[in-house]
A = this chain, B = another copy of it.
Amino acid sequence: MPPQTGESTRNAILDAAEAVFARHGYDGASLRAIANRAGVNQPLIHYHFESKDGLFRAVFRRRAGAINRQREITLQALRLESGPSAPVLEQVVEALLRPTIELGHDSRRGGRHYAQLVVTMANAPDDRSKSLIAENYNAIARTFIAAFRECLPDLSPADAVWGYLHAISIALTLMAPTGRAGDLTESSDSERADDSDIEAVLERTVPFICAGLRALANRGNAGRAGDTPSPVAEAVAGKRRRA
A residues engaging B (CB < 8 A)? 22-28, 70, 88-91, 94, 98, 116, 119-120, 123-126, 130, 134, 138, 141-142, 145, 156-159, 161-166, 168-170, 172-173, 176, 178, 180-181, 183-186, 189-193, 199, 202-216, 219, 230-232, 235-237, 239-240, 243
Residues of chain B contacted by A180 (CB below 8 angstroms): 134, 165
CB <8 Å contact, B204 and A210: no
Contact sample, A vs B, 7 pairs, CB 8 Å cutoff: A25-B25, A25-B26, A123-B173, A125-B178, A156-B190, A156-B191, A207-B219
Q: Could you tell me the distance in whole angstroms from the C-beta of A23 to the nearest C-beta in chain B?
A: 6
Query: Which chain B residue lies CB-closest to A243?
Result: B70
Main secondary structure on chain A at its contact with chain B? helix
CB <8 Å contact, B159 and A204: yes
CB <8 Å contact, A119 and B123: yes
Tell me whether A162 and B207 are in contact in the complex, defined as CB-CB below 8 angstroms, given that A145-B184, A178-B130, A230-B88 are known contacts: no
Q: Could you tell me the distance in whole angstroms from the C-beta of A99 to the nearest C-beta in chain B?
A: 9
CB <8 Å contact, A190 and B157: yes
CB <8 Å contact, A216 and B191: no
Q: Could you tell me the distance in whole angstroms from the C-beta of A220 to the nearest C-beta in chain B?
A: 10
Q: Bound complex: CA of A84 vs CA of B77, how far in Å?
A: 51
Which of B176, B209, B237 has a CB less than 8 Å from the CB of A203? Answer: B237
A88, A120, A162, A192, most chain B CB atoms within 10 A: A162
Residues of chain B contacted by A236 (CB below 8 angstroms): 90, 94, 202-203, 206-207
CB <8 Å contact, B158 and A191: yes
Q: Bound complex: CA of A70 vs CA of B240, how far in Å?
A: 13
Query: Which chain B residue lies CB-closest to A214?
Result: B211
Q: Could you tell me the distance in whole angstroms from the C-beta of A25 to the nearest C-beta in chain B?
A: 5
Q: Could you tell me the distance in whole angstroms from the C-beta of A32 to the nearest C-beta in chain B?
A: 14
CB <8 Å contact, A163 and B208: yes
CB <8 Å contact, A116 and B120: no
Q: Bound complex: CA of A204 vs CA of B24, how far in Å?
A: 35
